[in-house]
Chains A and B, each alone.
Chain A
Amino acid sequence: MSEAVPKPLGIVPLGDCAAYVEFSDSLDLEVNAVVQRLAAALRARALPWVRDVVPALGGVALHFDPAHAELPAAPLQAAAAAVEACLAEGLPVAQALGRSLEVPACYDPELALDLDAVAERVKLAPEEVAQRHAAPEYQVLMMGFAPGLPHLGGLDPRLEVPRRAEPRVVVPPGSIAIAGLQAVVYPYAIPGGWNVVACTPLTLFDARGEPPSLFAPGDRVRFVPISRAEFERRRR
């Protein structure tokens, strides 16, 4: 249990209804892996005054009801104590947490709206962008922006591009998009500024589904290239 685990940079109040345990203010996949394990440990403690444990890119947020009868008088200190207790007891191992998901991805230019533009920008052939995009195993670092929308880490640094100058008013559901060193998948039609390089036929979010979200924090994800015909067959 003498594993070296980073200490939090600090605990920041997010108003009077959440505490953010910050480990890093920049993207670091190793730090995020610890964040996921800490979030699992905090969730397992089931503190009665905590209503959400939210792993984010660089830390964990504990959301609470400021009027809860059992809220400690000093919630930040109580959050710090809970984090310390989790770290002292040892965190669950990463492999035991998330699931391994295979996500079919179609790189047809008609669906991969920005594949050519990204290829031009990084000076690779579109086919190679697709290949490099489908190669790594990604991790779900955080869910957010919309219900069921995963932020994925593990993108090939060769594919690093900024967000689009003009965000789209509507990004089609299932669009797999990149920006910086992350990828996201759009669960339903929403506005967005990331570069769409593929599309999955899977349903990402169904409020009546069990579970409602295809992805969860800590999951490991591989994109499996599929043909346009298979995309059409698997959609619905």
Chain B
Amino acid sequence: MTVRVAKPGLLSTVQDRGRHGLQHLGIVPCGAMDPVAHALANALVGNDAEAATLELTVIGPELVFGHDALIALCGGEFGATLDGRALPRDRPVLARAGARLVLGRTLRGSRAYLAIAGGIALEPVLGSRSTYLPARFGGFEGRALRAGDTLPLAPDAAELAAARYAHLAAGATRRDGIDTVRWSAPPLTLPDREPIVLHAMEGQHFGLFGAAAQRVFFDATWRVAPESNRMGFRLGGPALVADKAGELLSGPTCLGTVQVPANGAPIALMADHQTTGGYPKIAEIASADVPRLAQLAPGGTLRIARCTLEDALALARAARARLDAALRAISWGYAK
């Protein structure tokens, strides 16, 4: 069972929940940049949380299904059609054998997640199917999809599609030639009106920055620079000068760490970030807010609101509760 890649899109990679527990070897966690949308997409097609999805970036791919497949598209809003008909988002859709899924450019948000019932049948590497582009391992041959690739699906993907779609019978509908359901999952991470507001704690080296830089960091409107990628988002805005930085001892970094290199332009570390770094860390973005940052396209704007560790932990619990509620609602859709 396979999907053929007719057009690859800008950057389409296989991702899952990431590769944890290996940072002591310098091995990056990776995983979906927007793990919330990834989790929703998986749940919508009845997959386990461990299943891999396709992460599609800014310009989506064109895919042809070799057999019936149950699919769901979550996260960024892309113009998407299935055999020429508008594809409803955030819900399970039955794609028939030979169906062509065309994703255009994003309309809102920058990353969409395509889940397929049964998942993507690639061998996990170091415990994960996530693609790590810089070292070329994991996912599909350690790289982004190319035209002509054939993506392996579960051998029983067609049976799973039929069985799971039958489970959805109570809510199933055929509308405008598309087999789907009458309900949808909430888009939890689509960016609000820009500039979006992200919460961040003062970082380990906040004190190395002068009062002016400290104030500017929380006052400025930052713009995601074009050279941003899965490793880090470069933030354009006023230059931040660390008064007393000098040579810092390289130390551990995290998802959401905001480092400031000598040029004064901050970098927010994203899913493929290096596990250690030697630049001063001015702030740490609350982990609950990182998925919304991941949905900003280059040019997107944001502001930073100061928070405490307690606030950030409370945000993480609240975000988890929202996701759990959405996942529960999806599972009711599958209950007979």
Q: Which positions in A face B, CB cutoff 8 Å?
A: 12-18, 20, 24-27, 39, 51-59, 61, 63, 66-67, 71, 75-76, 142-149, 151, 180, 187-188, 190, 205, 207-208, 211-213, 216-217
| Contact yes or no, B284 A14, CB < 8 A | yes
| Contact yes or no, B316 A145, CB < 8 A | no
Which B311-332 residues sit within 8 Å CB-CB of chain A? 312-313, 315-317, 319-320
B277-300 vs A, CB cutoff 8 Å, 1 = contact: the mask equals 100010011111000000000000
B7-25 vs A, CB cutoff 8 Å, 1 = contact: the mask equals 0000000000000111111
Contact flag A66-B312 (CB < 8 Å), given A146-B26, A190-B134: yes
Contact of B221 with A by CB under 8 A: no
Contact of B249 with A by CB under 8 A: yes
Q: Chain B nearest CB: distance from A151 CB in Å?
A: 7
Report Cα–Cα, A56/B315, bound state, in Å: 28
Closest 4 CB pairs of A and B: A144-B276, A15-B284, A207-B137, A16-B312
- Select the residue from A76, A207, A212 with max chain B CB neighbours within 10 A: A207
Which residues of the other chain, A, contact B28 by a CB distance below 8 angstroms? 147
| Contact yes or no, B135 A207, CB < 8 A | yes
Which B90-147 residues sit within 8 Å CB-CB of chain A? 125-126, 132, 134-135, 137-138, 142
Q: Chain B nearest CB: distance from A82 CB in Å?
A: 16
Contact of B70 with A by CB under 8 A: no
Contact flag A151-B250 (CB < 8 Å), given A15-B257, A15-B285: yes
| Contact yes or no, A13 B23, CB < 8 A | no
Report Cα–Cα, A190/B257, bound state, in Å: 22
**Could you list 14 A-B pairs, sorted by A, with CB under 8 Å?**
A12-B204, A15-B201, A16-B315, A24-B249, A26-B249, A53-B24, A63-B252, A142-B276, A144-B26, A147-B26, A205-B135, A207-B142, A213-B27, A216-B25
| Contact yes or no, A149 B26, CB < 8 A | yes
| Contact yes or no, A57 B251, CB < 8 A | yes
Contact of B76 with A by CB under 8 A: no
Report Cα–Cα, A26/B248, bound state, in Å: 8
Which residues of the other chain, A, contact B26 by a CB distance below 8 angstroms? 143-149, 213
| Contact yes or no, A59 B251, CB < 8 A | yes
Q: Chain B nearest CB: distance from A25 CB in Å?
A: 6
| Contact yes or no, A16 B201, CB < 8 A | yes
Which residues of the other chain, B, contact A145 by a CB distance below 8 angstroms? 26, 250, 274, 276
| Contact yes or no, B286 A54, CB < 8 A | no
Contact of B75 with A by CB under 8 A: no
Q: Chain B nearest CB: distance from A142 CB in Å?
A: 6
| CB < 8 Å neighbour of A146 from B274, B286, B312, B313 | B274
| Contact yes or no, B252 A18, CB < 8 A | yes
Contact flag A143-B134 (CB < 8 Å), given A15-B201, A61-B252: no
| Contact yes or no, A212 B250, CB < 8 A | no
Which residues of the other chain, B, contact A71 by a CB distance below 8 angstroms? 313
Report Cα–Cα, A12/B316, bound state, in Å: 19
Which residues of the other chain, B, contact A59 by a CB distance below 8 angstroms? 251
Contact of B256 with A by CB under 8 A: yes
